[in-house]
Amino acid sequence: MEEDLISKKELLELTGISYGQLYRWKRKQLIPEEWFIRKSAFTGQETFFPKERILRRVHNIINMKGDLSLDELAEKLADTTSYAHPHLSLSAAQLLERNIVSLTTLNRFGDATAGGKKYTFEQVVHLVAVDGLLSKGEMNLDEADGLFRTLTKNTAKFAGKNWELFFIRKMGASFFLLAATPADLIFDDGTRLVSRLSLTDLVEQLNGKLN
């Protein structure tokens, strides 16, 4: 999968955190080991991170660490269900106002989910997933319909466990795959993995916007 990477040095410059903080957070398992990607560069070995995810994570840590100790934070980050807001409900206006879901997505799928006017946390997560893929131009509206149906119907089966969404294409036909994490899937040669989203990422993205 093609994902934008950011070098450790750029990350520190961009976020203003220090080497010590980064290592401390890693020790406290605030940043998963898998995000440290080693690559050889002209200066020798360098560490890179998945850009979008690490920036969001660092942002969230900085935001939350005022109220919580690092250990509490680690627990919160490790367990998605706990920092998901089970009782959260947002109205369509709030979703738009906080820039969580775009108007197009909401118009198309909003009615399908909401019996009333409020959206539950789970529904919001689904909307965010669909919205993200749509706005990146990675899938068309018909596929979005399919994805939204799949998510609505099936995510409850994971019963609070983490899942990942794989969106793949082969010969123009598209598929969605939901798998419990951690999952390593291997596809045959003609297959293109368009996108990979995990529940953790979605929830974190959402949390960043809610705080």
Partner 1 sequence: MNKQPLPDLQLTGITGGAGGIYDNVILEGVCKVNGAVRAQVIKANGVITFNGDATAEEMQANGKLKVSGTLQFGSMEFDGMMTIDRDLRGENCILNGMLTIKGDGELENLSGEGVFTVSGLLSAGHVDYRLQGQAKAGEIGVETLVIRKAGGSLWNKLASGLIPKLRTELITRSIEGDVLDLEFTTADVVRGGIVKIGQGCRIGRVEYLTELSVHPDASVGKVEKGGE
- The residues binding partner 1 (CB under 8 A) are 8-9, 13, 18-24, 26-27, 43-45
Closer of 28 and 196 to partner 1 (Cβ): 28
Q: Cβ 1 to partner 1, closest distance in Å?
A: 26
Closer of 7 and 120 to partner 1 (Cβ): 7
Closer of 44 and 66 to partner 1 (Cβ): 44
Q: Cβ 19 to partner 1, closest distance in Å?
A: 4
Q: Cβ 23 to partner 1, closest distance in Å?
A: 4
Closer of 8 and 108 to partner 1 (Cβ): 8
Question: Which residue, 55, 61, 67, is CA-closest to 6?
Answer: 55
Closer of 73 and 139 to partner 1 (Cβ): 73
Residues in a beta bridge with 38: 47
Q: Cβ 35 to partner 1, closest distance in Å?
A: 14
Closer of 43 and 99 to partner 1 (Cβ): 43
Q: Cβ 9 to partner 1, closest distance in Å?
A: 7
Which amino acid would we find at residue 90? L
Q: Cβ 99 to partner 1, closest distance in Å?
A: 31
- Give residues with Cβ within 8 angstroms of 148, minimum separation 6: 109, 112, 126, 130
For residues 132 and 189, give the distance between their C-alpha atoms in angstroms, rounded to a whole number.
26
